[in-house]
């Protein structure tokens, strides 16, 4: 998604959000005990019952001081999983 600058995540949720809503995410990587907090805004919504059996959720674009650091960490984490047989919601 070219309009998502400085990183972001898709969050599966059934909660109601509006475009532009501000959210704070807490992210913990599987092999770490540290929890990372990042602020973001809703830039994408997949509603319940979306075509193609896509899960309901929101796309959150990061903003704030640590957005670049967390984006790089997520990219490195995903790069290690490229050959995984498990399904993802990456684009």
> What residue segments make up the domains of the chain, in order of their start?
8-79
pLDDT band at 15 (very low <50, low <70, confident <90, very high): very high
Domain 8-79, what fold?
A: Thrombin, subunit H (2.40.10)
Q: What is the pLDDT of residues 32-45, one digit of tens each?
A: 899 999 999 999 99
φ and ψ of 78, to 5 deg: -70, -35
The span from the CA of 59 to the CA of 57, in Å, is 7
C-alpha angle 78/43/75, rounded to 5°? 15
Q: What is the pTM of this model?
A: 0.79
- The better pLDDT of the pair 64, 84 is held by 64
- Give percent of the chain above pLDDT 70: 87
C-alpha angle 74/78/84, rounded to 5°? 160
Query: Across the chain, what does the average pLDDT equal?
Result: 86
**pLDDT reported for residue 90:** 55
> 61 with 38: CB under 8 angstroms?
no
């Amino acid at each position: 998604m070219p309009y998502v600058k400085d990183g972001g995540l898709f969050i599966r949720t059934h909660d109601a959000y509006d475009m532009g809503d501000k959210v704070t995410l807490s992210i913990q990587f599987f092999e770490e005990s540290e929890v990372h907090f990042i602020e973001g805004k809703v830039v994408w919504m997949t509603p319940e019952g979306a075509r193609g059996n896509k899960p309901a959720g929101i796309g959150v674009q990061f903003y704030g001081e640590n957005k670049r650091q967390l984006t790089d960490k997520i990219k490195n984490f995903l790069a290690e999983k490229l050959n995984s047989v498990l399904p993802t919601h990456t684009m």
